[in-house]
Amino acid sequence: MGRAAELVTWTHEKKCRKAVDSLLKNGFGAVYCATPQEAFDSIVAESGDATSVGFGGSMTIAGMEIEMRLREMGKEILNHSIPGLSRDDRMAVMRRQLVCDLFLTGTNALTLSGELVNIDATGNRVAAMFFGPRKVIVVAGRNKLVDGTVHDAIHRVKNWATPPNSKRLDFKTPCASSGFCSDCNSPDRLCRVTTVLERKPRFTDVRVLVVNADLGF
């Protein structure tokens, strides 16, 4: 690693650790992970007593390629993004995710004050983040950090997460073509359910792994 890259990594580490400290103050479980492998190992360790594991459709989690490892461990995998599922089958999986033992997801944005900000089209992912599953693990790459307000975090989601997600899903939204949010009223609009977790939900065990690497959108 060259000197410039070393200094950039150091700067990101400071910001990641600040987010971890803020999350802890807000009641969340939170851990700094220097690499995605550390986050991977942490998820494997935390999944020990889980029978069913739900996946929230996160590119961060998909990119970590942890599903295969959990399958090898004998876990029941609840992933509504598996190709070939009918709409009814997808909905059935999403409903079961709400009561799974362990729910894995990313986050669209994480403020340095320790707030998790997310925007969904259906709401299944964000619903499972705050109530239902016995344990929730949120993986946040350093690119999701926002040094600002919840409003700044929402701006980040709509301009940096939603356009590539819309394009990935082949949705017919203006942002899927332009790359910019236009606050559209398209039938395919993704920005329908916005949630802000200011503090850990009272009855949900939420653990956030803040990773010093760019993950997802």
- Indicate which CATH number applies to the domain containing 61: 3.40.50.10420
The pLDDT value given to residue 107: 98
What is the pLDDT averaged over residues 185-205?
97
Alpha helix segments (H runs only) across 65-161: 67-72, 87-97, 124-130, 150-156
86 domain residue, yes or no: yes
What is the count of structural domains for the chain? 1
Element (H, E) at 178: helix 174-178
216 domain residue, yes or no: no
Residues 19-36: b if buried by 16+ CB within 10 A, e if exposed? bbebbeebebbbbbbeeb
187 domain residue, yes or no: no
* pLDDT of 7 above 80: yes
The position carrying tokens 């925007």 is 119
Give the residue among 194, 127, 137, 154 at the shortest CA–CA distance from 23. 137
51 domain residue, yes or no: yes
55 domain residue, yes or no: yes
Residues spanned by the domain of 103: 28-150+199-211
pTM of structure: 0.96
140 domain residue, yes or no: yes
* pLDDT of 1 above 90: no
* pLDDT of 73 above 90: yes
* pLDDT of 23 above 90: yes
What is the pLDDT averaged over residues 150-161?
97
How far is CA 114 from each of CA 30, 161, 191, 199, 214, rounded to the nearest angstrom? Answer: 10, 19, 22, 8, 18
186 domain residue, yes or no: no
157 domain residue, yes or no: no
